[in-house]
Amino acid sequence: MSKFTDLIKSSPLLAAAFFLCFAVYSNSLGNGFQRDDLPHIVNNAAIRELSSFPRLFSRDYFQLNGAVAYRPVVVALRMLEYKAFGLDARLWRLFDLLLHAVNAALLCWVILAVSGLPGAAAAAGVLFLLHPAQTEALNYVSNGQCDILCLFFLLVSFLAYLNEKRFFSLAAFSLALLSKEMALAFPLLLLVYAYYYGDLRKDWKTPALGAGLSLVFLLWRLFYFKAGPGFIDKVPSQGAFGFTLAGAAAAVVKFPVLVVYYLKLLVWPAALSVEIDRILPAAGLFSGPHIALAWLFLAALAGAVYFYAKNKIYAFSLISFILALLPVSGLVPLTSVLQEHFVYIPSVFFCLLAGLGFAKAWSRAAWRKISVPVLALLLLASAGRIWARNADWRTPLTLAEADVRAFPGSSSALAGLASAKSAAGDYAGALDLCLKAEAAGPPDGEVYFLAAEIYLRSGAREKALASARLGLEMDLNSPDARVNIARIYARAGMPDEALAAAREAAALFPYFEPAYLTLGEILLLEKRPAEAERMFAEALRLNSRSAAAKRLADLRRPVPYSGKTK
C-alpha cells in the first residue's frame, strides 16, 4: 500500500486524472435511467425489500428479478443502493463512478506489484480512468455496473493471489463469478501468470481450484438454473439462450473478429453505439472475409507472443486480453456478444500494454520530453470524447440520434431512431425513418411492425397489414414477430386472426411471457375473462414483473354490492 501511495505522490498526472475523471463525467450524473435500467432498477420490486435477499440464491431468482443472467451479488448491491439512494439516478451513477476510480487504483497497485514499473502503472491507471470506451459501463447503470463490480472483485482476488492468500483470493473470485460471467476466464489468467512469473508445479492449486469453481458454476447454471426466466422447467437446452454444440462451434469461428473489434474500439473509440450488437452484424461484421482476416491477425499476434516470449509482461498482457474475451464469445450462452461495456474488464490488459509503452518511452532521454505532452494531449482528447458521449445518454432520443451519426448508413440505427421518435410522439418522422431503414438495406422485422402501428394511427389499415406481414416474413422464427403480428391484427379489428396468431406464438415459444400477456389481452377483448385469467397467470409465472399482474388484479377484484335486487 505504501508503494501505491508513493506512486500517487510521484505521479501528478495520475492524481490529476482522478479529479479529471469526476469532472468529465459530471455531465452524466443528470442523465436519467435508460433502457434496461427501467426493468432492472426502476420497476424492479425485488430490489425494494431486503427480505428478498435469501431468494436470490434459489431458482426463484429469475422470476423475482426478471433477468436472463444469474448475478445475485449485483442484485444484492442494488438492494442496498435502493435503500440508500432510492431512485435518484445521480447517486447511482456517482456510486459507479467511485467504484470505477477504486478499480483504477487497484489496477495501478496490481501493475506495480507485477512489473515494478511506477511509470507503467501510472500511465495504465490514467488511461483506464479516462478511456472513452468506458462510457457505456458508466452511463448504462444496469448493464455496466455488473462489469465494474466484477472487475473490483477480480482485482482484489488477484492481489490476494499475489500475496499467497488463497482463501481470500478464491472468496473474491466467487463474488466476481456471481457478479458477471466474465469472471469465468480468471483461472486461465492465473495459469498464464503462473507460467510466465512462477512455477506451475508449485502454483497450480489456486488456478485449479478457481477452475473447479467455474465448472461447478457452469454446470449449476446451465443444468439446474438453465437459461433464464421461464426456461427453468419448460424449454429444451437448445431453446432461447441455451447451450448447443453448433452454437459453440460458430462462436469459435467468429471469436477472432470479436478480438479485432474490441482492440479497434480501444485504439480508436470514435464510433460508439449502444446498439452495436444489431448494427455491426447487419453491416457484415461476421462475413467470410472479415473472419479470414481476423484469423490471420490472431495468428500474427500468436507469432508475436512466441517470438517475444522473453518479454514476459507483454506476452502475458496479450494472451490475457484474448482470454478475458472468451466469456463473451458466445461459448457461454448470453443474449449478445457485442456490447461496449463487455470490453471494460479486458481493457485493463490493453491499458497495461499502453502503460508499458509509455514507461519504455520515458526510459529513453530522447523520447522523455515528448512522452508526457503526448499523453496529456491524448487525455484531453479522451476527456472531450467522454463529455460528448455523456451528452448522448441524456434521453433515448439523443442516444438514437448519436447512433445514426456514428453509423449513418445503417438500417438498424435508422430503425432505432424511428422507434425513439415514435415513443416521443413524432409519428411522421418515425415513419419517414422506417422507410429510409427499408431502403438502406435488409432491416429486421421490427421496422415493418413499427411502420404498421403508425399506419394504423392514420387509418391506413391495408398498408398496416401489408407491413406487418412483411415483418413476420422477415423474422419468422422470432417470438417478438409472432406477438407483434397478433397485436396488429387485434388493433386492425381482426379478432379471429389475432387470437390464432397469439395462440401460435404461445405454442411455439412457451417460455415467452409477452405471448401469454398478448393472448390474455385479446381474450379479454373477446369477452372471455376466465381464459384470459389463465393466460395472465401464466405470464406472471414466467415473469413476476409482467404487466399481467395488474390485469389479474383487475379481473379478481370483487364487484361492489350495489344494494339493488332484481
3-state secondary structure 432-459: HHHHHHHHHCCCCHHHHHHHHHHHHHCC
Q: How many residues does the chain have?
A: 566
Kindly indicate the confidence band of residue 7, based on its pLDDT and cuts at 50, 70 and 90. Answer: low
Mean local confidence (pLDDT), 58-83: 83
Mean local confidence (pLDDT), 142-162: 96
Q: Exposed, middle or buried: residue 542 (CB in 10 Å: 0-12, 13-18, 19+)? A: buried
Contacts of 229 (CB under 8 A, 6+ apart): 62, 63, 66, 67, 68, 511, 513, 542, 543
- Of residues 481, 536, 523, the one with CA closest to residue 505: 481
> What digits encode the pLDDT tens for the residues 409-428?
899 999 999 999 999 999 99
Mean local confidence (pLDDT), 18-42: 92
Q: Is the pLDDT of residue 561 over 60?
A: no
More confident residue, 284 or 543: 284
Q: Which helix (H) or strand (E) covers residue 234, if one does?
A: helix 231-234
Mean local confidence (pLDDT), 517-523: 94
Instruction: Report how far residue 188's alpha carbon sits from residue 353's, in angstroms, rounded to the nearest whole number.
Output: 19
Q: Which helix (H) or strand (E) covers residue 463, if one does?
A: helix 461-474
Q: Is 307 helix (H, G, I), strand (E, B) or coil?
A: helix
Instruction: Report how far residue 76's alpha carbon sits from residue 82's, in angstroms, rounded to the nearest whole number.
Output: 10
Instruction: Report how far residue 547's alpha carbon sits from residue 155's, in angstroms, rounded to the nearest whole number.
Output: 40
CATH number belonging to domain 395-476: 1.25.40.10
Three cell numbers written together for 507: 405454442
Kindly indicate the confidence band of residue 367, based on its pLDDT and cuts at 50, 70 and 90. Answer: confident
Contacts of 379 (CB under 8 A, 6+ apart): 13, 17, 20, 126, 130
pLDDT for 324 equals 95
CA-CA-CA-CA torsion sign (500, 505, 511, 513): negative
Give percent above pLDDT 90 in the chain: 58
Q: Is the pLDDT of residue 545 over 80?
A: no
Q: Is the pLDDT of residue 248 over 50?
A: yes
Phi, psi of 360 (to 5 degrees): -65, -40
Kindly indicate the confidence band of residue 348, based on its pLDDT and cuts at 50, 70 and 90. Answer: very high
Q: pTM value?
A: 0.90
Domain limits, CATH 1.25.40.10, in the chain:
395-476, 498-558
> What digits encode the pLDDT tens for the residues 111-140?
999 988 888 999 999 999 999 999 999 999
Kindly indicate the confidence band of residue 3, based on its pLDDT and cuts at 50, 70 and 90. Answer: low
pLDDT for 555 equals 84
**Architecture of the structural domain at 498-558:** Alpha Horseshoe (1.25)
Lowest mean pLDDT of 229-233, 446-450, 525-529, name the range: 229-233
Instruction: Report how far residue 342's alpha carbon sits from residue 339's, in angstroms, rounded to the nearest whole number.
Output: 5
pLDDT for 287 equals 92
Enter the DSSP assignment of 566.
Answer: -
Instruction: Report how far residue 414's alpha carbon sits from residue 420's, in angstroms, rounded to the nearest whole number.
Output: 10
pLDDT for 227 equals 47
Give percent above pLDDT 70 in the chain: 90
State the greatest distance between any 2 C-alpha atoms of the chain, in Å, as a whole number.
Answer: 103
Rounded mean pLDDT of the chain?
87
User: Do 22 and 97 contact (CB within 8 A), yes or no?
Assistant: yes
Kindly indicate the confidence band of residue 335, based on its pLDDT and cuts at 50, 70 and 90. Answer: low
Kindly indicate the confidence band of residue 245, based on its pLDDT and cuts at 50, 70 and 90. Answer: confident
Please report, as a single letter, which amino acid is at residue 373.
Answer: P
> What digits encode the pLDDT tens for the residues 264-311?
999 999 899 998 988 888 778 999 999 999 999 999 999 988 887 778
Q: Is the pLDDT of residue 501 over 60?
A: yes
Contacts of 366 (CB under 8 A, 6+ apart): none
Q: Is the pLDDT of residue 558 over 50?
A: yes
Three cell numbers written together for 39: 426493468
Cα Rg of the chain, angstroms: 26
Can you say how many angstroms the Cα of residue 387 is from the centroid of all Cα atoms in its chain? 21
Kindly indicate the confidence band of residue 21, based on its pLDDT and cuts at 50, 70 and 90. Answer: very high
Can you say how many angstroms the Cα of residue 407 is from the centroid of all Cα atoms in its chain? 20
User: Do 178 and 65 contact (CB within 8 A), yes or no?
Assistant: no
Q: Is the pLDDT of residue 476 over 70?
A: yes
Instruction: Report how far residue 442's alpha carbon sits from residue 189's, in angstroms, rounded to the nearest whole number.
Output: 41
Instruction: Report how far residue 432's alpha carbon sits from residue 439's, in angstroms, rounded to the nearest whole number.
Output: 11
- Of residues 517, 525, 519, the one with CA closest to residue 551: 517
pLDDT for 240 equals 40
Kindly indicate the confidence band of residue 232, based on its pLDDT and cuts at 50, 70 and 90. Answer: very low
Enter the DSSP assignment of 559.
Answer: P
> What digits encode the pLDDT tens for the residues 213-228?
999 888 877 776 654 4
Mean local confidence (pLDDT), 484-488: 95
More confident residue, 418 or 70: 418
pLDDT for 546 equals 80
- Of residues 54, 48, 51, the one with CA closest to residue 78: 48
Contacts of 6 (CB under 8 A, 6+ apart): 118
Instruction: Report how far residue 4's alpha carbon sits from residue 483's, in angstroms, rounded to the nearest whole number.
Output: 56
Lowest mean pLDDT of 450-464, 474-488, 534-548, 550-564, name the range: 550-564
Enter the DSSP assignment of 272.
Answer: -
Mean local confidence (pLDDT), 541-566: 72
Three cell numbers written together for 485: 403480428
- For cell 512469473, the residue is 197
Please report, as a single letter, which amino acid is at residue 118.
Answer: P
Q: Is the pLDDT of residue 566 over 90?
A: no
Kindly indicate the confidence band of residue 560, based on its pLDDT and cuts at 50, 70 and 90. Answer: low
Q: What angle do CA 239, 244, 250 make, to 5 degrees?
A: 120
